[in-house]
Amino acid sequence: MKKIKSMSYEELEEYIVSHGEKRFRAKQVFEWLHKGVRSFDEMRNLPAALREKLKTDADPEVIETETVQISKKDGTRKYLFRLSDGQMVESVLMKYEYGNTICISTQAGCRMGCAFCASCKGGLIRNLTAGEILDQVLAVSADIGRRVDNVVVMGVGEPFDNYEELKSFIRLIHDSRGFNMSWRSITVSTCGLVPYIKRFAEDFPQVTLAVSLHAPNEKIRNELMPVNRKYDYSKLLSACREYVRITNKRITFEYILIEGKNDSVKQAAELAERLKGILCHINLIPFNGVEGKSFAAAKRRAAEEFRDVLKKNGFEATIRRELGSDIDGACGQLRSRKNQSQN
């Protein structure tokens, strides 16, 4: 079965023409897919014969909503989606003053092994296709009755560990004949796969890059993020400087604040020294508790003091608003609970 939602517009044209159809039928199919239709029968302006051909030869890569949790505090929505092979991934819809932002997944599971994250429980199962990544956006847009405004690729999985499908997804969601999302409304996060940072800068200079640091030095980062043992802090920051040089765009550094681990004023000063000279924004994230992990969130006062040290050193730093604290808000948490209940 052809993964039809993962196809670029040009690939879809070739596919449709190969079935003896007129080229303009590709435009119709592409538009229907990007409106989020769930079956070929819904593509009402296609000839019945073409719809039947598609049903026997093409996979629309539709994901099914397994569970939706809605926060009573702030309206955050946590989605658990079931893929066609039964694997599950998560998406989170967050409401901000500047619009709705969806955080989406690129893999079922993850092999990065970060100590504070629920996504890596069970390791990596498989990569998602570009169509499955896109369908998270389409399904959530349909659920809330309006298109989402921003996409953050920061859910289950490491996006750069599935780079080719990530590339296809970004180009698909930006295509003006489909969802037509602007480059600047897309953010991609990485835990630090250094070889892909320069590639990403060259492929998508207008898309925002977020890099997960979560530590002020090598020792703590090695403990929290095994990826640092392969691509150490110095190599990572060198790649980040190169990214800024190529794109002339600031980079976002994500930093989860864990009580007693990486949240002291001294560690804030150490972080400021390491990042000196890099055009960046530092996003401080309160740790969202994960079952089975012994970490605790830094106190609000500690977070504010950490931020103030960074600001005194000339950095733009903010503390991310806590969202979804009354639901399974942490990445991978809802998926993990569902997997445990089935075992």
Catalytic residues: 90, 331
CA distance between the termini of the chain: 30
Contacts of 230 (CB under 8 A, 6+ apart): none
HEC assignment per residue over the chain: CEEHHHCCHHHHHHHHHHCCCCCHHHHHHHHHHHHCCCCHHHCCCCCHHHHHHHHHHEECCCCEEEEEEECCCCCCEEEEEECCCCCEEEEEEEEECCEEEEEECCEEECCCCCCCCCCCCCCEEEECCHHHHHHHHHHHHHHHCCCCCEEEECCCCCHHHHHHHHHHHHHHHHCCCCCCCCHHHEEEEECCCHHHHHHHHHHCCCCEEEEECCCCCHHHHHHHCHHHHCCCHHHHHHHHHHHHHHHCCCEEEEEEEECCCCCCHHHHHHHHHHCCCCCEEEEEEECCCCCCCCCCECCHHHHHHHHHHHHHCCCEEEECCCCCCCCCCCCCHHHHHHHHHHC
Task: Using CA atoms of 118, 120, 122, 126 in order, give the dihedral in degrees to the nearest 10.
Answer: 130
Q: How far is CA 120 from the centre of its chain?
A: 15
